[in-house]
Amino acid sequence: MKKLGVISSFALSAFLAVAAIPAGAQSSAGTTTVSVPTTNSDSGGTPAPASVTTNLNLTPSLAPQPPAAAPSSSSDEFHRIDFFAGYSFLNNNIASVDAGEAVQLVHGYAASVTFNLNRNFGILADFSGHNGSLNQFGAHQTEDQYYFLFGPSVSHTFGKAKISGHVLAGVANQHYGEAFANPANDFGAKEHNFAAGVGGSFDWKFTDHFAWRVMQLDYLTSIFDGERVNNLRGSTGIVVSFK
């Protein structure tokens, strides 16, 4: 019994000593410092005390983490307005319809505004004017045509290239005249009539806001002097885009 009491007393003393070490070394910030012997290489292997600090994150963070922001996608971005202006040519068929003359290739200008509803669909407002003149058979002939057209436009972009197609309808203002040496023989006719067309374009993009319309081709049809006039129009110029 005496030996059992000594063993119990020794075990109790050892338990209290072990429990006292972390209780005294534990700080309020959750850092435990324990001194362990290390060997000093300069003193020939003499042990020297060293402080080893272990940071323990005892309290997990309960603050909610904000959700990661969804990456912005540039695929949904597009220009709201595309403005085009440039040179245009037209194989004017008015003279052949009115006087049986050859078709003339006349020069002019073209401009358009496309209001884009999304990346691939928009509404196009198109205007062009061509003024031609020719001296033959002792007469000065004039051929003028103006188109005011509107319609849907579809497009698709491949890197720096953009192709588009459109169907248009509107009004054509057309004039044909012949002036002779004797003014009494002068002749002229002018009409406003329905016009329609279909065509497409190819653009090459230089920057985010500027592009070159390499070519736009349109087949245009209208009525002049009671007969159908079919013309082919080509245009090229600069496109300016706005977001």
Whole-model pTM? 0.65
Q: What is the number of domains present in the chain? A: 1
Both tokens of residue 189? 């006719």
CA distances from 242 to 81, 97, 172, 211 (A): 5, 42, 29, 12
Residue 125's CATH number = 2.40.160.20
Structure confidence by residue, pLDDT tens digits, 47-64: 555 444 445 454 555 556
Binned at pLDDT 50, 70 and 90, residue 70 comes out as low
Domain of residue 238 covers: 79-242
CA distances from 183 to 79, 86, 136, 139 (A): 54, 36, 16, 11
Asked whether residue 37 is domain-assigned, the answer is: no
Instruction: Say whether 160 sits in a helix, a strand or coil.
Output: coil
State the DSSP code for 232.
E
Structure confidence by residue, pLDDT tens digits, 78-91: 789 999 999 999 98
Asked whether residue 199 is domain-assigned, the answer is: yes
Rounded Cα distance, 126 and 112, in Å: 4
Asked whether residue 68 is domain-assigned, the answer is: no
Length of the chain: 243
End-to-end Cα, the chain, rounded Å: 97
Structure confidence by residue, pLDDT tens digits, 8-50: 555 556 555 555 555 444 444 444 444 445 555 454 555 555 4
Rg of the chain taking only CA atoms, in angstroms: 44
